[in-house]
Amino acid sequence: MARILITSAIPYINGIKHLGNLVGSQLPADLFARYMRGRGHEVMFLCATDEHGTPAELAAAKAGKPVQEYCAEMHKVQADLARGFRLSFDHFGRSSSQRNHRLTQHFAGRLADNGHIAEVSEKQVFSIDDNRFLPDRYITGTCPNCGYEAARGDQCENCTKQLDPTDLINPRSSISGSTNLEVRETKHLYLKQRALKDKLEAWIDSKTDWPVLTTSIAKKWLNDGDGLQDRGITRDLHWGIPVRRGDQPWPGMEGKVFYVWFDAPIEYIACTAEWADANGRHDADWERWWRTDKGAADVTYYQFMGKDNVPFHTLSFPATILGSEEPWKMVDYLKSFNYLNYDGGQFSTSQGRGVFMDQALSILPADYWRWWLLSHAPESSDSEFTWENFQASVNKDLADVLGNFVSRVTKFAQSKFGDTVPAGGDYGPQEHALIADLGARIRDYEACMNAIEVRKAAAELRAIWVAGNEYLQSAAPWTAVKTDPDRAQAIIRLALNLIRVYAILSRPFIPDAAETMMQAMGSSDWTWPDDLPAAMRSLTPGQPFSVPENLFRKITDDERADWQTRFSGVRS
């Protein structure tokens, strides 16, 4: 049994996330976690809300609430939506937790002790009209590199060049739009990333199995232009983790907080400590996942995130870990995703364009969305959500292939043989050929899941569903029952066992439907079908089964048209 640590990029606290955010990190991480649990491995699957920084302060102010209250409320909203989508986190934490306060301050102290922190007097943009220093991302202007007019002060989204706010041409406050800005001197702490470049490069080079997307982004940030830069880890803000050197005050840093990019990844570790606290565990119980000197050496650590998060997880967070010179577990495999676009454009919160997580669950159950998103995951390139594609995929894959198989088998079995698994006959050449074919297909499915090739895994699973339908059509129990009832009973007994196998294989993708299938078969045995011939005899003659309600209903043309209009962002 392997020990698998899985973290999903932690969503920011301000607002409900759209389907592109979901498929870019949390959902594929959940797929992998469920699969690994299904194979019998010990899994720790973690996520949290990212709660610090100016965006949280501004969102709270807009809502007319103290920032702590706003973050607590939004954490509950995001946790509830995660449960709605059946995301199986072992713990869904908060970056504002006291555990993260202490760990972030600990890492800062270790980095300083090891000579990796510099105190830098710098000039920062101060908005006179807003009466505050402006964080990098709240200064907008023209990129000096590519001319993009809406570049942020930390990075240009158009050309991805890392920037300082003072680099921008014609800067303005993103908060108020004011151009009444001036540069004032302030002192901040910098993580000396350049001094760690050789270690970071050697570590990245050792990850020969990473996706091309991940490695290419990491190498670009490491070497392009001026290469890896030292990066500020503190800000002049009120909301955040106070700057301390371990448990001691940091002279000259009074009133400052750690920059959100620094403390947010540390929450992965803190979240595990929060899990231990919430479950009455000891420090040793979470340290065995993170400290290689306390049991984590045999852990395999996977991270899931959108491509925009890759630089911080391949460079800055690893620099924190390496610079601490402590035996912390580092990521083994980083799965990154491109973007999901929406119906010819982009998701837009401000324009009400696209489907957000709460809206999705209000119109269809989670499995419908899980299946489409995962089977169309933006792995090798950006992908696009269209209502026509969504309707076709749900109706064909879920309703016509899987749902139809379950319905035909159980209804026929009940009408001809009653409410228990029929006993007549035995498997013949056709059944043995199907079992051999399915065994090979299941191995292909496992290979895709082990490699975290999400779209390929979905295609393999669908092919397994199709094979069952083709067998049923060829074996034709509705014809055999008229001339050879024993033969018909053997066909149906195999098909009922196949429904149970489908439940096990499908559970990572569509957990609710899988539970329904398993319950209908009167079973609670989720053992992975490593021995498929035995698995196809798991349901024995005389065992009760039931006819489940329709697993998946079809989406009508009228519904599709209505939803397409409703979520287009077009204002009436």
> What was the pLDDT predicted at 569?
80
Residue 146 marked as a ligand binder: yes
Q: Is the pLDDT of residue 400 over 90?
A: yes
User: Quick one: pLDDT at residue 572?
Assistant: 38
To the question of pTM greater than 0.85 for the whole model, the response is: yes
For residue 448, say whether it is annotated as part of any ligand binding site: no
Please say whether the beta carbons of 322 and 198 come within 8 A: no
Q: What percent of the chain has pLDDT over 70?
A: 99
- The hierarchical CATH code for the domain 387-535 is 1.10.730.10
Is 47 one of the annotated binding-site residues?
no
Residue pair 8/48 in contact by the 8 Å Cβ criterion: no
What pLDDT score does 122 carry? 85
Contact 33, 6 (CB under 8 A): yes
Q: What's the DSSP call for residue 550?
A: P
Domain boundaries, the chain: 3-107+262-383, 115-249, 387-535
**71 assigned binding-site residue:** no
Judged against a pLDDT cut of 90, whether residue 174 lies above it is answered with: no
Confidence of residue 274 (pLDDT cuts 50, 70, 90): very high
Residue written as tokens 């959940």?
Answer: 30
318 φ/ψ angles, rounded to the nearest 5 degrees: -60, -35
What region does 359 belong to: left with phi over 0, alpha with psi -120 to 50, or beta? alpha
Percent of the chain scored above 90 by pLDDT?
87
| Spatial separation of the C-alpha atoms in residues 347 and 22, rounded to whole Å | 12
Is residue 570 very low, low, confident or very high in pLDDT (cuts 50, 70, 90)?
low
Using CA atoms, how far apart are residues 508 and 512, in angstroms rounded to an integer?
A: 10
Q: What is the topology classification, in CATH, of domain 115-249? A: Methionyl-trna Synthetase; domain 2 (2.170.220)
How far is Cα 333 from Cα 325, in angstroms, rounded to an integer?
21
Contacts of 56 (CB under 8 A, 6+ apart): 12, 13, 14, 67, 70, 71, 239
556 CB contacts (<8 Å, ≥6 apart)?
A: none
Question: How many residues in the chain?
Answer: 572
CA-to-CA distance for 507 and 529, rounded, in angstroms? 13
Q: Which of 262, 272, 322 is nearest to 105 (CA)?
A: 262
**Rounded Cα–Cα distance for residues 93 and 75 (Å):** 9
Using CA atoms, how far apart are residues 281 and 262, in angstroms rounded to an integer? 27
Does pLDDT of 8 surpass 50? yes
Contact of 449 with 508, CB cutoff 8 Å? yes
The predicted-structure confidence for 82-118, as pLDDT tens digits, reads as follows 999 999 999 999 999 999 999 999 999 999 999 999 9
- Strands 42-49 vs 91-94: parallel, antiparallel or unpaired: parallel
The CB density around residue 483, as the number of other CB atoms within 10 Å, is 8
- What's the CA gap between 47 and 95, in Å, rounded? 10
| 115-249 and 387-535 agree in CATH topology | no
Amino acid 27: pLDDT: 98
Average pLDDT, integer, range 493-519: 98
Task: Please state, in angstroms and rounded to a whole number, the distance separating the CA atoms of residues 465 and 300.
Answer: 31
Encoded amino acid at 566, one letter:
R
CA distance 144 to 497: 64
pLDDT by residue (tens digit) across 36-70?
Answer: 999 999 999 999 999 998 889 889 988 999 999 99
Structure tokens at 125: 């943009």
442 vs 238, residue with greater confidence: 442
The annotation status of 349 as a binding-site residue, yes or no, is: yes
Q: How high is the pLDDT of residue 345? A: 87
Spatial contact of 340 and 24, defined as CB atoms under 8 Å apart: yes
CATH architecture of 3-107+262-383: 3-Layer(aba) Sandwich (3.40)
Average predicted confidence (pLDDT) for the chain: 95
More confident residue, 352 or 182: 182
Residue (of 266, 228, 290) closest to 97 by Cα position: 266
